[in-house]
């Protein structure tokens, strides 16, 4: 157990309340709340106190998000700040808003978000400004109201060890990002009606960065991060053409997302967004099929929590077989077409 030593430089009179009051950053895209934020909300609920959702945005799209957020189970209020600068939120524009919200007099005891690219850039910034630590990528959380301390677990060394981290009562606001595969997404309920509150934006006129463009990968397949089935290919897939012609028909028949090892991505067989692993996406689907993937620890770090792991590899000593529930020592070019035929039947 690693306890934070916290040098208090500011006197915060509001830090003594023991009942948690959590603020969850709800990210959204194209009119839909990100599933990672829904998992963060579940984690926030496990603290056992009040939970407020923060929604930012300046466009009409955000109205739908607010109405949707109000129906989220476990959310007592929705805090909305509207400004064109939040249409595409940037760490430089959002951080000052959070810093102001969480400064002297703030009721919030915990600030929570998904472990997303944006939030990973925002939360530590704000935490540093407030002179408190931020805990990242947590897989469990427990709050002890009597000592006003919160204990987290988080994977370290590419998931080979689990670290237990305790944030004691001396830390007035506890910041943490949540590994979405460790928490089921919060659900919606027609009966729920969170209260809507507005928050004045903080205009940032001298942001050192600006949004230029967004390019999203378009795919008819399920999104890798939330898919319940994934068919993943490695270096054995030879090239981009074989990768597609071998894996895609299998993925389509299973209604699965497609994933890839870093070797396959680096060799240009698959898009970077498909990479699973330590430096790619962390997934935990019901079914993970690893085809022609050796099972390097960096790959396992991204998929070993999958419910059912099926591996096909020519090498009986491939490390992937150590984590596979079903392993087939075979040539994937024989197995995959046969499997597709059987599934069709």
At residue 169, what are phi and psi to the nearest 5 degrees?
-65, -20
DSSP 78: E
The residue from 53, 155, 292, 327 that contacts ligand FAD (CB under 6 A) is: 292
- Per CB under 6 A, the segment of 39-47, 94-102, 140-148, 272-280 that binds ligand FAD is 272-280
Residue 30 assigned as binding residue: no
DSSP string, 214-261: --PPP-SSPPTTT-SEEEEE-GGG-SHHHHHHHHHHHHHHHT-EEEE-
> Does 315 interact with ligand FAD (rule: CB under 6 A)?
yes
- Per CB under 6 A, the segment of 54-62, 187-195, 197-205, 331-339 that binds ligand FAD is 331-339
- Per CB under 6 A, the segment of 95-103, 110-118, 187-195, 311-319 that binds ligand FAD is 311-319
DSSP string, 294-325: ---HHHHHHHTT-SEEEEEES-TT-GGGGT-S
> Does 57 interact with ligand FAD (rule: CB under 6 A)?
no
Give the Cβ contact number of residue 152 at 10 Å.
22
Residue 50 assigned as binding residue: no
Give the strand order in the sheet containing 161-167.
2-3, 161-167, 149-156, 140-144
Spell out the residues 6+ positions from residue 67 whose beta carbon is closer than 8 angstroms to its own.
none
Please, what is the minimum distance in Å from the beta carbon of residue 306 to ligand FAD? 14
The residue from 164, 207, 272, 279 that contacts ligand FAD (CB under 6 A) is: 279
Nearest in space to 54 (alpha carbons), one of 65, 39, 43: 65
Residue 277 assigned as binding residue: yes
The residue from 109, 180, 278, 306 that contacts ligand FAD (CB under 6 A) is: 278
The strand pairing partners of 144, in sequence order, are 149
The residue from 314, 322, 337, 338 that contacts ligand FAD (CB under 6 A) is: 314
The nearer residue to ligand FAD, 195 or 338, going by C-beta atoms, is 338
Binders in 211-250 for ligand FAD, by CB under 6 A? 234-236
> Does 259 interact with ligand FAD (rule: CB under 6 A)?
no
């Amino acid at each position: 157990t690693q306890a934070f030593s916290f040098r208090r430089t500011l006197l915060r009179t509001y830090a003594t309340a023991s009942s948690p009051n959590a603020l969850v950053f709800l990210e959204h895209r194209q009119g839909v709340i990100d599933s990672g934020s829904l998992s963060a909300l579940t984690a926030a609920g496990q603290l056992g106190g009040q939970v407020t959702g923060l929604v930012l945005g300046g466009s009409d799209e955000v109205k739908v998000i607010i109405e949707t957020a109000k129906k989220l189970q476990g959310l007592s209020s929705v805090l909305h700040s509207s400004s064109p600068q939040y249409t595409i939120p940037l760490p430089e524009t959002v951080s000052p808003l959070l810093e102001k919200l969480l400064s002297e007099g703030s009721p919030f005891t915990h600030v929570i978000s998904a472990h997303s690219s944006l939030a990973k850039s925002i939360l530590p910034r704000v935490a540093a400004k407030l002179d408190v630590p931020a805990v990242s990528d947590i897989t469990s959380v427990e709050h002890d109201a009597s000592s006003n301390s919160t204990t987290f677990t988080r994977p370290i060394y590419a998931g080979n060890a689990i670290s237990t981290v305790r944030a004691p009562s001396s830390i007035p606001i506890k910041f943490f990002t949540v590994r979405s595969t460790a928490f089921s997404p919060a659900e919606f309920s027609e009966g729920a009606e969170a209260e809507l509150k507005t928050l004045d934006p903080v205009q940032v006129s001298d942001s050192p960065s600006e949004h230029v463009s967004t390019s999203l990968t378009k795919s008819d397949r399920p999104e890798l991060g939330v898919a319940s089935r994934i068919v993943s290919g490695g270096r054995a897939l030879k090239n981009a053409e074989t990768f597609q012609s071998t894996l895609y028909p299998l993925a389509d028949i299973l209604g699965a997302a497609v994933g890839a090892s870093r070797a396959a991505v680096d060799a240009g067989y698959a898009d970077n967004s498909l990479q699973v692993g330590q430096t790619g996406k962390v997934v935990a689907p019901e079914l993970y099929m690893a085809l022609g993937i050796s099972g390097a620890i960096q790959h396992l770090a991204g998929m070993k929590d999958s419910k059912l792991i099926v591996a096909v590899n020519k090498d009986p000593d491939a490390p992937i077989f150590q984590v596979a529930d079903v392993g087939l020592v075979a040539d994937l070019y024989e197995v995959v077409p046969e499997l597709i035929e059987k599934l069709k039947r």
